[in-house]
Amino acid sequence: MRRIAILTSGGDAPGMNAAIRALTRKAIHEGFEIFGIERGYLGIIEEKIFPLSNRDVGGIITQGGTMLKTARFPEFQNEEIQRKAYDILKTYDIDHLVVIGGDGSMRGATSLSKLGMSTMTIPCTIDNDMGGTQYTIGYDTALNTVVDAVGRIRDTSNSHERVAIVEVMGRKAGHIALKAGLACGAEIVLVPENPMPLHAVCRHLKETQIRGKEYSVILVAEGAYNSGEVKAFIKEHTEFDPSLTVLGYLQRGGGPSAFDAILAARMSEVCINLLMSGVANRLVGYIDGHIRALSYEEAERLEFPIDEKDYRLLSILSS
Ligand code: F6P
């Protein structure tokens, strides 16, 4: 019987549990033995490796977080540690390793595959910042969380006729900020890909006030600006005194949206099918409505940056 191990790594994201469940059940259905590894790559070194059954993954599909725990383990960039991990996996007779995580996690899988391990990566991060896929599991849920939160902030900003600054995650990418801005009607979105000078932000706020807007919402992607500095700048250069809300880890929690749970199921199915047919060392991505697996090199090259059309549309609609 062939053995598959799965781990979750990097920042957690809604849908990780749905992917663990789908991988486990699909793999068992196809006759594999399946093992969970706790705490990501660190768990390989700590030998936190244990068998998973269909029952072990019962009831987790709607739960946020990851039942396998996760960890950031920058030491895994060290080749000696990678070799140690490879050797440990081999002592457990693991034939394939499936990594659920973001781009750092995929790089870990790439390194292990270069040492001869058969690996697959399921893209899972709220940031949606991975090459080779238009959607990462967790992004849609985080977007919905942000839209819900901004709606509430908008209510109170409206009552108090105030400018509201809301900082969202996304690391170096503006996907969450831009799409959430479009979905909740933000007046201004600051993303790292399209830097808007703060003087222009102030000018925009004054113009919208002249046009009769009583309040404005500014979404700041964490990679674009320090939101505290944005607030201080606006306060210094205008008569506005903005509120500031940093949504933070709220965006990573919660059960997956239907879209993310279904994406997790479909990607997991393709992942196990590919391993059965002898294909490995791939990122399982979502491209133009289809689940497609690309080599790690292709995935790194095929970037899906923020949609400039969305950015232009947002500024038209926020007038
Ligand atoms: O990658 C997911 C993410 O939530 C980013 O949006 C954010 O920059 C980062 O992780 C926060 O990381 P940590 O959990 O190490 O604080």
Task: Kindly list the structural domains of the chain, giving each domain's residue range(s) and its CATH number in brackets, ordered by start.
Answer: 3-138+256-301 (3.40.50.450), 140-252 (3.40.50.460)
Nearest CA residue ID for atom 13, ligand 1: 11
- Is the CB of 223 within 6 Å of ligand 1? no
- Is the CB of 169 within 6 Å of ligand 1? yes
> Among the atoms of ligand 1, which is closest to the Cα of residue 223?
8
- For 80: left if phi > 0, alpha if psi spans -120 to 50, otherwise beta; the answer is alpha
Nearest CA residue ID for atom 2, ligand 1: 11
Q: How far is the CA of 11 from the centre of ligand 1 (A)?
A: 5
Interface confidence (ipTM) of the complex: 0.97
Cα separation of 73 and 43, whole Å? 10
- Is the CB of 72 within 6 Å of ligand 1? yes
- Is the CB of 170 within 6 Å of ligand 1? yes
> Would the pTM of this model clear 0.90, i.e. be above it?
yes
* DSSP bridge pairs for 120: 98, 282
> Among the atoms of ligand 1, which is closest to the Cα of residue 171?
8
Taking residue 116's Cβ as centre, other Cβ atoms within 10 Å add up to 8
Q: What is the pLDDT of residue 1?
A: 59
Q: Of 259, 287, 291, nearest to 272 (Cα)?
A: 291
- Kindly name the residue from 56, 87, 93, 127 that is annotated as catalytic: 127
Q: What is the pLDDT along the chain (319 residues), one digit of tens a residue?
A: 599 999 999 999 999 999 999 999 999 999 999 999 999 999 999 999 999 999 999 999 999 999 999 999 999 999 999 999 999 999 999 999 999 999 999 999 999 999 999 999 999 999 999 999 999 999 999 999 999 999 999 999 999 999 999 999 999 999 999 999 999 999 999 999 998 999 999 999 999 888 888 899 999 999 999 999 999 999 999 999 999 999 999 999 999 999 999 999 999 999 999 999 999 999 999 999 999 999 999 999 999 999 999 999 998 998 7
Q: What is the pLDDT of residue 214?
A: 87
Taking residue 147's Cβ as centre, other Cβ atoms within 10 Å add up to 17
Q: Of 276, 264, 277, 270, nearest to 293 (Cα)?
A: 270
- In terms of C-beta distances under 8 Å and separation of at least 24 residues, what long-range contacts does 58-64 make, across chains too? 58/21, 60/17, 60/18, 60/20, 60/21, 61/17, 61/18, 61/21, 61/256, 61/261, 62/18, 62/255, 62/256, 62/261, 63/17, 63/255, 64/12, 64/14, 64/17, 64/252, 64/253, 64/254, 64/255, 64/256
For residue 127, indicate whether it is catalytic. Answer: yes
